[in-house]
């Protein structure tokens, strides 16, 4: 791991959107990335000036002025999702690379102009659940030849789906489902692949269950409840394959249950000899002030930005958090609203 001041090559970037998320999460994460923060931009001029002074960057209130006034390689977009497509196209048209925070838009179709304008530029959407180390490990385990085909997926999340009568909300409307729904959906799609059908079932006490039928044959369940406390661990995933089960709890613990040699009525020990079977667990080390237990690393924020930076510097397309994948996630998000 290198720190910003240690990289020999750095991208010249401008950050658009200096609200709570941009300031609290993105700016600190840049400390471990090969970037030079040359400009910041926000509609709030005072916020732009204050932040620019703190980070030694040039302040702007409009992206177009920032692009005209600075020699940049890329922009980082942390604006409201309804603004992302137009801002991304504006930057791409000037030959810049683009990273954008999730959700990337309000509608799946709003990403089509961005895809058309991308050309050979790198565009990454910050779907952090797909980038978090726990997810990367889970996907690695599921891809092992001995694990077998994925048959079932389960996710639990503190969330609710608004009742819209089957219609999509207005583009300027915002909801918790828009902001948070892409988190569990993105990881389920990363593991299960394309979704061919969506069913939604609502309980009388506020819980909601989405049933996802994947094109590859697996069945997924997304259980959502507003009654889950946000102050306690509320996120859980389970991926059931033919010869093993992978689970993620609280984004920071991965388990791989390989099973043990077993015969009903005949097996007398639950811990047979050797290490070929049983449960394997991975989790961060919390006893030291190290990087793997820091929130931007555990949650995948560093990984998504690092993937973007390295793709640009190495001249290769992004392979995770692509526009096409983000559009698939948005399509499922819309299907849930129509079904619910």
Nearest to 126 by CA among 96, 108, 99, 107: 99
pTM for this entry:
0.94
Give the CA radius of gyration of the chain: 21
CATH 3.40.50.720 fits 4-127+298-323, yes or no: yes
> How far is residue 182's CA from residue 129's CA, in Å, rounded to a whole number?
9
Q: What is the 3-state secondary structure (H, E, C) of 246-297?
A: EEEECCCEEEEECCCCCCCCCCCCCCCCCCCCCEEEECCCCCCCCHHHCHHH
Which run of H or E residues covers position 131? helix 128-131
3-state helix, strand, coil in the chain (%, to 5): 40, 25, 40
**Domain range list for the chain:** 4-127+298-323, 131-286+329-339
Q: How many helices (H) and strands (E) does the chain have?
A: 13, 14
φ/ψ of 270, rounded to 5, equals -90, -5
pLDDT by 10s per residue, the chain, length 340 = 677 777 888 999 999 999 988 999 999 999 999 999 999 999 999 999 999 999 999 999 999 999 999 999 999 999 999 999 999 999 999 999 999 999 999 999 999 999 999 999 999 999 999 999 999 999 999 999 999 999 999 999 988 887 776 777 666 655 677 788 899 999 999 999 999 999 999 888 878 999 999 999 999 999 988 777 777 888 999 999 999 999 999 999 999 999 888 889 888 888 888 888 899 999 999 998 888 899 999 999 999 999 999 999 999 999 999 999 999 999 999 999 888 7
Contact 118, 143 (CB under 8 A): no
Inter-CA distances, 131 with 41, 65, 184, 209, 244, Å: 26, 32, 12, 25, 22
The domain 131-286+329-339 is placed in CATH, from the list 3.40.50.1980, 3.30.360.10, 3.60.20.10, 3.40.50.10090, at 3.30.360.10
């Amino acid at each position: 791991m290198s720190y910003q001041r240690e990289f020999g090559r750095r991208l010249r970037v401008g950050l658009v959107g200096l609200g709570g998320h941009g300031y609290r999460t993105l700016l600190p994460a840049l400390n471990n990335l090969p970037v030079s923060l040359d400009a910041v931009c926000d509609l709030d001029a005072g916020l732009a000036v204050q932040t620019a002074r703190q980070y030694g960057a040039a302040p702007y209130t409009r992206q177009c002025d920032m692009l005209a006034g600075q020699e940049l390689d890329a922009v980082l977009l942390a604006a409201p999702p309804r603004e992302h497509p137009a801002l991304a196209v504006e930057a791409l048209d000037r030959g810049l690379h683009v990273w954008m925070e999730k959700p990337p838009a309000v509608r799946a179709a709003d990403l089509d102009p961005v895809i058309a304008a991308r050309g050979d530029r790198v565009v990454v959407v910050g779907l952090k659940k797909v980038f978090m180390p726990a997810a990367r490990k889970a996907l690695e385990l599921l891809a092992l030849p001995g694990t077998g085909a994925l048959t079932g997926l389960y996710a639990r999340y503190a969330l609710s789906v608004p009742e819209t009568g089957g219609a999509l909300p207005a583009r300027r409307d915002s909801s918790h489902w828009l902001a948070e729904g892409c988190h569990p959906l993105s990881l389920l799609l990363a593991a299960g692949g394309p979704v061919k059908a969506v069913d939604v079932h609502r309980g009388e006490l506020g819980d909601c269950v989405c049933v996802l039928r994947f094109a590859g044959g697996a069945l997924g369940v997304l259980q959502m409840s507003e009654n889950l406390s946000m102050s306690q661990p509320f996120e859980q995933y389970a991926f059931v394959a033919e010869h093993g089960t992978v689970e993620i709890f609280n984004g920071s613990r991965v388990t791989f249950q390989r099973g043990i040699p077993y015969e009903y009525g005949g097996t007398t020990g639950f811990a047979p000899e050797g290490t070929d079977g049983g449960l394997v667990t991975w989790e961060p080390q919390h006893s030291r002030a190290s990087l793997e237990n820091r929130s931007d690393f555990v949650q995948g924020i560093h990984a998504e930005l690092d993937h973007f930076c390295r793709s640009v510097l190495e001249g290769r397309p992004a392979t995770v958090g692509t526009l096409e994948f983000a559009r698939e996630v948005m399509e499922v998000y819309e299907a849930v609203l129509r079904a619910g």
